[in-house]
Amino acid sequence: MSVEAAPRLAPPALPVRTERLMLRTVQPGDREAIGRYCGDDEVTRYLPFPSLDDEALTARMSRLVAATAPSVPDEFLALAVEHEGTLVGDLMLRFTDRHGPTDPPAIAELGWVFSPEHGGRGLATEAARALVDLAFAHYPLHRLMARLDPRNVASARLCERIGMQLEGHTREDYAERDGTWSDTAVYGLLRREWTPAR
C-alpha cells in the first residue's frame, strides 16, 4: 500500500520584529558574525559541534541558509537574530515527530546560540519567546522541547524564562566529543500552556 506524501508546509512570514530584535532567514553574508561566535570554545562548549574551522563553518552556513521551509521531521527552520543592524545570534526550530507519515509535525525542538558580546541583556530570551510564538502560531505543533546539558545553566535559565518546564533529567546518555558521557535535561512547553508574548 502506498503512503501519500504529506503536503509541504508553507514557510513562516518573515521577518518577525520584537521590541529590540528582528528575526529573519540566515543569509550567506552572516558568515563572519556566525563564524566569530561559533569559533569560540566557550560558546560551543555545550553544542553538538566543536568550534568551527573554515570548512565546518562553510558546511554550517549552507545548512542554515537552506533551512527556510521545514515540513517533516528532521528538517529545521534557522533564523538570524539582529539587534540594531548587528547579528547577535541564531535560533533553530527542528521538527522531531508526528503522529503518522502524512500528518504535519507535532513536536519540535528549540535551539539557540548567541554571541557573548551581546549576552546578559535578555536578547536571547526575547528572541526565543518570539520563536515560541512563531512556532505555535504558524505550525500545528502540540509540543516544544529543548534538550541541554544540565551544566549549561545559562540555557536552562533561558528555558525557564520562556515558560518551559523541566520535565526530566536523564543520566549519561549523551556521547561527548572527549569519549565521556554527559547527562541531559529535558524542558518542554505544551500548546495549552503557551501564552503568546504579544
Ligand X SMILES: CC(C)(COP(=O)(O)OP(=O)(O)OC[C@H]1O[C@@H](n2cnc3c(N)ncnc32)[C@H](O)[C@@H]1OP(=O)(O)O)[C@@H](O)C(=O)NCCC(=O)NCCS
Window 98-117: residues binding ligand X (CB under 6 A):
112-114
CA atoms within 13 A on the CB side of 150: 14
Of 16, 23, 57, 158, which one interacts with ligand X (CB under 6 A)?
Answer: 158
Cα–Cα distance between 136 and 142 in angstroms, integer?
8
Of 11, 15, 50, 122, which one interacts with ligand X (CB under 6 A)?
Answer: 122
Cα–Cα distance between 194 and 191 in angstroms, integer?
5
Strand, coil or helix: 9: coil
CB 188 within 8 A of CB 143: yes
Polymer length of the chain: 198
Window 4-43: residues binding ligand X (CB under 6 A):
43
Window 46-65: residues binding ligand X (CB under 6 A):
46-47
Tell me the window of 52-60, 65-73, 152-160, 172-180 that interacts with ligand X (CB under 6 A).
Answer: 152-160
Q: Does 155 bind ligand X (CB under 6 A)?
A: yes
Of 18, 51, 125, 165, which one interacts with ligand X (CB under 6 A)?
Answer: 125
CB 9 within 8 A of CB 104: yes
CB 113 within 8 A of CB 37: yes
Q: Does 169 bind ligand X (CB under 6 A)?
A: no
Given the rule CB under 6 A, which residues bind ligand X?
Answer: 43, 46-47, 112-114, 119-125, 148, 152, 154-155, 157-158
